[in-house]
Structure 1
């Protein structure tokens, strides 16, 4: 396994387990020495993705609200690409769509094949993802920029979005479940998602299964008010509308 792929796998393990010990990682990567694992961890720490703790433990580097977008790009990358590709297949010719903040939402742009699509977004990364692809029209809403997650939100954003209607919206989430709904740690992001959901004929939420039953500060809306696109069958969600990207 090449070093970059191994470090991606480490990030995936941390997303699922929050804190790991070096001895755990040695067991996961059979045949890889402890010194090699330590070098990988030092690189990830230098790149501000993780924090090394006393006693040989390691965790993701988080701020008080969100995982930084640079870290998110390394988490569950294969699953996110599958979800993004399936989401893009839902877009039809001449649709007006909204693309939310989040790395999975960003990733869907390059897979859109429909013609004449108008994209409205509060996701700064969408502009980078669209570069080189034949996207009809992109409108970036105004507001306050959160550089940590490459997202635009706030009162100006909400005011703009209240006056727009969408054929389809594609939203991200930090957690989802029957009881916890679709949630996010940032009240501004929650407000934005709620407005867009209300103004959309169809609302899709793009999220990998590792976020199931995770509860963060703000519930944006209930799980039955959207169509989930995720990467695994989740028996607890039977009776709600969701699609598995495999």
Structure 2
């Protein structure tokens, strides 16, 4: 884990819990106590936390410096170009498995996650309508003549290579969307899906309200991973497509609450695209 990834994890944990122990961070980040203490010292210099005996607490920010603190926090949110190189094989497998749930004539909604970018790249050139706020998805679908691509618009973010804001939310009310495929930054212990950016979280809430069927594409590294802004509870999802779910209790709980867990390592019994 790179230092910026580790420090982002520390900030997300503090945002979620308000405090954290060095021993907890050692276990979470799989590094030595000395490394964690160096990270905490660097983050304290930036005003993001206060070190205490054996751990740290989140810094109390005044209204006057809240904008600066937000910009500093954004340093620990990985850019799209960084995330697209994480867990590549797992994301490709998840995207390939998601194809089995797409039919000719569907109206799809894809978020700006890297996993949905992998899905867009693998979509066959068949009759589909795809709405998205992702520039990368738009570029991937541009050469597919049978796919009608609609950009949600909004304020463009160079860091995330996507569009967000009120303008991006407005078109969602105008379309009958069959299925949304989306991802998140983390699946918390409390059962909530979260994003590291509140603008992304709010847009995804609106996306979920607009779609009939909801497919969460999430690799195993995001289970029990803390993040900042709440999207929804897992009960709001119809399908979870993942590469691996070790926790059998969680898998059973998901099933009890009506979430269909799809393990992409298991071969599908039928190919829906072929039969459509």
For structure 1, the residue ranges without an aligned partner over 5 or more in a row are 1-9, 22-61
1:238 to 1:207, Cα distance in 2 relative to 1, 3 A:
same
The 8 Å contact of residues 89 and 113 in structure 1, kept in 2 or not, is answered as no
Aligned-pair CA distance for 1:111: 2.0
Runs of 4+ deviating beyond 6 Å: 14-17
TM-score by length of 1: 0.72
For residues 184 and 73 of structure 1, the distance between their equivalents in structure 2, rounded to whole angstroms, comes to: 16
The 8 Å contact of residues 176 and 211 in structure 2, kept in 1 or not, is answered as yes
Give per-residue Cα distances to partners, 1:61-116, cap 9 Å, x unaligned: x8346211111111100000001111122110100000001111111012223731
Q: Which has the larger radius of gyration?
A: 2
For residues 19 and 135 of structure 1, the distance between their equivalents in structure 2, rounded to whole angstroms, comes to: 47
Matches within 5 A, 1:1-246: 18=29, 63-64=74-75, 66-113=77-124, 115-177=126-188, 179-226=190-237, 227-234=239-246, 235=248, 236-240=250-254, 241=259, 242-246=261-265
The aligned length equals 196
The 8 Å contact of residues 123 and 152 in structure 1, kept in 2 or not, is answered as yes
For residues 225 and 141 of structure 1, the distance between their equivalents in structure 2, rounded to whole angstroms, comes to: 23
- The SS at the match of 1:71 is helix
1:192 to 1:65, Cα distance in 2 relative to 1, 3 A:
farther
For structure 2, the residue ranges without an aligned partner over 5 or more in a row are 10-27, 33-72, 266-276
For residues 220 and 129 of structure 1, the distance between their equivalents in structure 2, rounded to whole angstroms, comes to: 26
Which moves more between the two structures, 207-216 or 153-162?
Answer: 153-162
Which protein has the bigger helix share?
Answer: 2
TM-score by length of 2: 0.64
